[in-house]
Structure formats: C-alpha cells, structure tokens
Structure 1
Amino acid sequence: MVEHQTSQLDAVFHALGDPTRRQMLRQLTGGEQTVGQLAEPYDISLAAASKHIKALEVAGLIHRDVRGRTHICRLAPGPLATAHQWLSFYERFWTDRLDILERLLREEDTARKSKTQNTTKIAKTGDDQ
C-alpha cells in the first residue's frame, strides 16, 4: 500500500514537474477537452501532446475517454490531494521553524531595546552629577 502511494506520488510530482503539463491541467479545470484542444496553445505536435497527456494519465491526474477517433480528456484531481497532504507536512514544518525564528528575533529586538534604554538611563544619570 505504502509502495503504491509512493509510486503514485512520484508520478504526480513527475507530471507536475513540467510547465506544459501543469498548464494542460489548468486548462482542464474549465471542462473536458480533446487532445487537439489541449495541444493547441503550444507549439507542439499531437504526438508530443499525447506524451504529456500520457504522463498525466500515469499520475492519475486525468482520464482519457476515446469516442470514435476523438480522445476526450478530463481532470481527475484526486491524486492532487495526496500531493497536497505530502506538501502540508512540510508547510507545517517550515511554518513552525519560521514561528520560532520570529520569536527569537522579537526576543533579540526586545533585549536590544532594553539594553539601549538602560544605557540611555545610565548616561542621563551620569550627566546629572
């Protein structure tokens, strides 16, 4: 089970690693499209578009239905949830680290202000004598 999830996650990140495939996914958020429609915005052949679509299919990010000679693609967002869960762990990790950094910087800033105020107070007291 874990090996299958790892394999699918690898395929999802591989598919998302290409800007053309990411844009194709975005196009599909508007509804079903043919392979030709998906390829149209790019200066690529239908064969190249099919290779991109195949990578998206392997990742489970799209489904392709064949209707006669027409290949219709539609978004299958489920695997994106798995990738999001994986990324969420690291988002929490970095958020925690940044919160710690912010706290330390605030403490340092408070200590610096306190030291400056004490130095100013001592200087004023010395001037009074």
Structure 2
Amino acid sequence: MNFTKAPLALPNVALTGYRLRYPGTASGSDFTVIRNDVASDALEAATGQWRWRQAPLPPLSAERLRSLEQWLDALPKDALIVESGKHTMCVWWQEAMSLENFQQNWANWLAMRDILAGSGKRAGEGIGPL
C-alpha cells in the first residue's frame, strides 16, 4: 500500500495507492492514466474511460497495450489513477469494493503487473555515443 499523496489534486477525495512491485529485474514502462471523470479534457484518450497524463515510455507493444486497455476498463469505478514506473505499478482508488470482490479482482491486478513487467527500458538502452 502507498500512503503518500496521490498524483492528482482532488480536494475531499481520499485515495489509497496499492503498489505492486514488478518481479525481479523486469522493469515497467513509465506511464500515468487518469479516469475521465477527474481528468482534464486536454489529455489524450487512452480508452473510453481513461486519459493519458503520461503515455507509456518506452511505448508498449500492441499486445500489452490492448491488455492494459481491457484491464483499465474493468477496474472498479472508484479507481481513479494508475501509475507505472521502473519498479512498480500503483492503482490509486477509494477502496469502495467489498473484500470478497477485491479478493476476486486481485488476481487480475497481479496478472496485469506481470504483463507489464519487462516493458520498461533495459540496462544500457538509450545510451549512445557522446
């Protein structure tokens, strides 16, 4: 769990971040998506329900992107932000789901983490001659 401040200024909305570490040395792509309900219209659409605050860097393969889009649209309505970085993926939400439903959905969250694992930069990538 992540008890730091959510990456979105929402007065009167308490969010808890559930942080999932990418396994081993398999880094994740850097991105942030925000649910349409709380996102600026100026942001590019990621799905019908989500907008990119930061599109994936490096870009996701077509298969990973399709999996991410389907997973995002299946998240509970109170999930408002998903961040991915080198070491972790974090889902920011209001925890309105029942424990039983959460336990059923947790496997999907872990599966998405595993799909994104390895989508980030590899050691030495992006380093060219000076």
Per the normalisation by structure 1, the TM-score is 0.28
Higher helix share: 1
Higher strand share: 2
Structure ID, larger Rg: 1
